[in-house]
């Protein structure tokens, strides 16, 4: 009987010691794993634009002046605005840039619309309550469909005095329901002056 008790006590002590050793080993393994994971963590780096990347140089009201980083020389810049529908959905983009070739058009604008646009309906635009004009689509890509239009000195003057340019596009699947977009002219005067100053004369 005493031998059985002694054997039981010995086995219990042995099992306990084995469990403690196993737990200690598991803890050590976890510690090594955590330390290994921490050693692989990135501390990050300063997120400065690189050559060829586009960044927002300045904001003028609802217009953003976006420029491209270059190794040397003047950075090419454009004015940018994202166009929303009445439900605040992003629908189109407008990019504006000055022209210096001495032609009737003093600035150019590219408007990008969704691929589902009815091209034959063209795009219409007017400032505030002024009569509108139609502009044809130039081409489409995987990004969307593009309208390239020229702005005369009179058009630019209207932009500077106006509140918004009303843009209308026709969806191919819902031709009876044109989508009306508002191109805000808030900040345009300062934005255009800045983009002209940033554009080198050719």
Q: Where in the sequence is the domain holding 3, given as residue range(s)?
A: 1-41
Whether the pLDDT of residue 177 is over 70: the answer is yes
Question: Considering the domain boundaries, does residue 65 fall inside one?
Answer: yes
Q: For the chain, give the mean pLDDT.
A: 85
DSSP H or E stretch at residue 14: helix 2-39
Do residues 151 and 190 share a domain?
Answer: yes
Do residues 125 and 87 share a domain?
Answer: yes
Do residues 98 and 123 share a domain?
Answer: yes
In contact, 45 and 38? CB cutoff 8 Å: no
- Domain at 118, CATH number: 2.60.40.1880
Do residues 20 and 59 share a domain?
Answer: no
Do residues 34 and 59 share a domain?
Answer: no
User: How many separate helices (H) and strands (E) can be counted in the chain?
Assistant: 3, 11
Exposure on the CB side of residue 28, measured as CA atoms within 13 A:
6
Measured CA to CA, the distance from residue 182 to residue 192 in angstroms comes to 18
Do residues 128 and 191 share a domain?
Answer: yes
Do residues 66 and 156 share a domain?
Answer: yes
Do residues 28 and 109 share a domain?
Answer: no
Do residues 117 and 93 share a domain?
Answer: yes
Question: Considering the domain boundaries, does residue 191 fall inside one?
Answer: yes
6: pLDDT confidence band, cut at 50, 70 and 90?
very low
Top-confidence range, 8-12, 26-30, 101-105, 131-135: 131-135
Measured CA to CA, the distance from residue 79 to residue 198 in angstroms comes to 11
Question: Considering the domain boundaries, does residue 167 fall inside one?
Answer: yes
127: number of Cβ within 10 Å: 20
* pLDDT at site 42: 84
Question: Considering the domain boundaries, does residue 6 fall inside one?
Answer: yes
In contact, 137 and 147? CB cutoff 8 Å: yes
Measured CA to CA, the distance from residue 18 to residue 98 in angstroms comes to 80
Question: Considering the domain boundaries, does residue 46 fall inside one?
Answer: no
Question: Considering the domain boundaries, does residue 10 fall inside one?
Answer: yes
Do residues 101 and 63 share a domain?
Answer: yes
Backbone φ/ψ region at 52: left (φ over 0), alpha (ψ -120 to 50), beta: left
Task: Give me the number of domains the chain comprises.
Answer: 2
pLDDT per residue over 25-44, tens digit each? 555 555 555 565 767 888 87
Model pTM? 0.74
Do residues 21 and 78 share a domain?
Answer: no
Q: What is the DSSP letter of 69?
A: -
In contact, 183 and 167? CB cutoff 8 Å: yes
């Amino acid at each position: 009987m005493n031998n059985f008790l002694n054997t039981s006590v010995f086995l219990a002590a042995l099992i306990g010691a084995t469990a403690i050793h196993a737990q200690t080993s598991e803890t050590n393994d976890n510690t090594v794993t955590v330390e290994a994971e921490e050693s692989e963590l990135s501390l990050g780096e300063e997120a400065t634009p690189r050559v060829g990347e586009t960044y927002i140089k300045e904001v003028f009201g609802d217009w953003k002046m976006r420029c491209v980083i270059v190794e040397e020389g003047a950075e090419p810049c454009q004015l940018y605005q994202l166009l929303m529908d009445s439900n605040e959905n992003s629908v189109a983009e407008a990019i504006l840039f000055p022209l210096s070739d001495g032609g009737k058009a003093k600035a150019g604008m590219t408007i990008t619309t969704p691929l589902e646009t009815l091209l034959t309906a063209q795009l219409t635009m007017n400032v505030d309550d002024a009569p509108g004009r139609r502009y044809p689509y130039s081409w489409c890509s995987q990004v969307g469909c593009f309208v390239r239009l020229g702005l005369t000195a009179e058009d630019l003057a209207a932009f500077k005095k106006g509140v918004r340019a009303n843009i209308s596009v026709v969806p191919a699947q819902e031709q009876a329901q044109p989508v009306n977009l508002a191109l805000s002219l808030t900040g345009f005067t300062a934005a255009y002056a800045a983009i002209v100053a940033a554009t080198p004369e050719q």
